[in-house]
């Protein structure tokens, strides 16, 4: 779905899964600094929007999600996962309940599969599930922004900013009042700095929540049963995850960033050494320079210098080994 905000001056379209919104508006670092200073907005209107309404919505969602939402207070943001029977991550939901409806935004293109799964689990519960992507757009305001949300829209407020669920036909009008536009590359650079994983970027078909540090923020360890809980309990109580998320400072002398999927090796072993992980997201940060998130094997020493392809990389621990 192509955003109307791509008509703003300087807009350069994003590619791949983020197609449909602007990657940047002509000045990547200026846009990052604006978001870091609490000004401007990010167009996330390509993300899927799903709602659940009905008097039993929170109790029903509580049975399906990794997060404790049965008594979720109105307007309190949270995030949750849906796992496979083996505990692998299938969906990531960014949630808020307004007292009548639970709103969630999800990765672009995943909303149809999510709605299909939720519909299959309704049984006799008094809930209604809807894909609202056609008529609702997500817009992000950074932490510290003084821009006001329009009356009546759902707002998901977190330490990183506010996600607004705006009527899609009012997106252009609101954007004119929200300050300078920042592209998705600026948003992603701050996400990497904040060590926040993203479904489809830091995950693959076998990722479990412990590997990414999603325990606590998206997985509640004291709630009732849900699909995949056995894996969570087993890893939490008896074992350790096979991989761990790390933050990498990359050699700034390289012209090109190592792309996602670039293999990681121990620097002491050289570029032909044993593969110990791979880059998941790489960005250029306005203060930190080239940085990345990556998955490495759990037993890789936390202070070991690495090579991302031919690029030197130093680790910063995100998930303890």
SS (H, E, C) the chain: CCCHHHHCCCCEECCHHHCCCEEECCCHHHHHHHHHCCCCEEECCCCEEEEEECCCHHHHHHHHCCCCCCCCCCCCCEEEEEECCCCCEEEEEEEEECCCEEEEEECCCCHHHHHHHHHHCCCCCCCEEEECCCCEEEEEEECCCCCCCCCCCEEEEECCEEEEEEEHHHHHHHHCCCCCEECHHHHHHHHHHCCCCCCCCCCCCCCCHHHHCCECCCECCCCCCCCCHHHHHHHHHCCCCCEEEEEEEECCCCCCCCCCCCEEEEHHHCCCCCEEEEEEEEEEECCCEEEEEEEEECCCCCCCCEEECCEEEEEEECCCC
| 78 inside domain | yes
The pLDDT, as a whole number, for residue 255 is: 79
| 108 inside domain | yes
Examine the domain organization and report whether 30 and 54 are in the same domain.
Answer: no
The pLDDT, as a whole number, for residue 238 is: 87
CATH of the domain at 98: 3.30.70.1400
| 164 inside domain | yes
- The count of domains in the chain is 3
| 256 inside domain | yes
Examine the domain organization and report whether 114 and 149 are in the same domain.
Answer: no
Q: What is the mean pLDDT of each run of 10 residues along the chain (321 residues)?
A: 94 97 97 97 98 98 97 97 98 98 98 98 96 98 96 97 97 94 98 98 96 96 92 91 97 88 95 94 97 97 95 95 88
Whole-model pTM: value is: 0.96
The pLDDT, as a whole number, for residue 253 is: 79
Examine the domain organization and report whether 187 and 291 are in the same domain.
Answer: no
Examine the domain organization and report whether 18 and 72 are in the same domain.
Answer: no
Residues, the chain? 321
CB 198 within 8 A of CB 281: yes
Interval 163-178: pLDDT, tens: 999 999 999 999 999 9
| 34 inside domain | yes
Examine the domain organization and report whether 155 and 276 are in the same domain.
Answer: no
15: containing domain: 4-47+135-194
Examine the domain organization and report whether 39 and 148 are in the same domain.
Answer: yes
Examine the domain organization and report whether 146 and 71 are in the same domain.
Answer: no
Examine the domain organization and report whether 175 and 280 are in the same domain.
Answer: no
Q: Which residue has tokens 């940085």?
A: 291
Rg (the chain; Cα; Å): 20
Examine the domain organization and report whether 43 and 71 are in the same domain.
Answer: no
Examine the domain organization and report whether 34 and 155 are in the same domain.
Answer: yes
Examine the domain organization and report whether 84 and 95 are in the same domain.
Answer: yes
The pLDDT, as a whole number, for residue 240 is: 86
| 214 inside domain | no
Examine the domain organization and report whether 126 and 65 are in the same domain.
Answer: yes
| 140 inside domain | yes
CATH of the domain at 266: 2.40.30.110
């Amino acid at each position: 779905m192509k955003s109307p905000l791509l008509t703003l001056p300087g807009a350069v379209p994003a590619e791949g899964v983020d197609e449909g919104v602007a990657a940047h508006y002509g000045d990547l670092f200026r846009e990052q600094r604006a978001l870091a200073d609490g000004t401007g907005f990010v167009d996330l209107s390509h993300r899927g929007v799903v709602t659940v309404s009905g008097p039993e919505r929170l109790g029903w969602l509580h049975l399906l999600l990794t997060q404790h939402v049965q008594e979720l207070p109105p307007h309190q943001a949270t995030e949750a996962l849906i796992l496979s029977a083996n505990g692998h991550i299938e969906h990531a939901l960014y949630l808020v309940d307004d007292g009548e409806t639970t709103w969630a935004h999800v990765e672009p293109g995943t909303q149809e599969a999510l709605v299909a799964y939720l519909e299959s689990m309704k049984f006799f519960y008094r809930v209604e599930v809807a894909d609202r992507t056609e008529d609702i757009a997500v817009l992000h305001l950074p932490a510290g922004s003084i821009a006001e949300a329009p009356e009546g829209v759902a707002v998901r407020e977190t330490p990183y900013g506010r996600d607004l669920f705006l009527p899609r036909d009012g997106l252009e009008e609101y954007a004119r009042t929200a300050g300078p536009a920042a592209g998705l590359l600026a948003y992603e650079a701050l996400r990497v700095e904040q060590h926040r994983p993203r479904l489809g970027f830091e995950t693959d078909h076998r990722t479990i929540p412990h590997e990414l540090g999603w325990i606590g923020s998206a997985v509640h360890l004291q709630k009732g049963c849900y699909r995949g809980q056995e894996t969570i309990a087993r890893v939490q109580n008896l074992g350790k995850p096979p991989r761990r998320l790390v933050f990498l400072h990359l050699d700034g002398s390289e012209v090109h960033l190592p792309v996602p999927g670039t293999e990681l090796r121990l620097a002491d072993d050289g570029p032909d050494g044993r593969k110990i992980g791979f880059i998941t997201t790489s960005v250029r940060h306005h203060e930190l320079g080239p940085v990345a998130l990556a998955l490495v094997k759990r037993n890789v020493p936390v202070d070991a210098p690495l090579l991302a392809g031919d690029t030197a990389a130093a680790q910063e621990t995100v998930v303890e080994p």
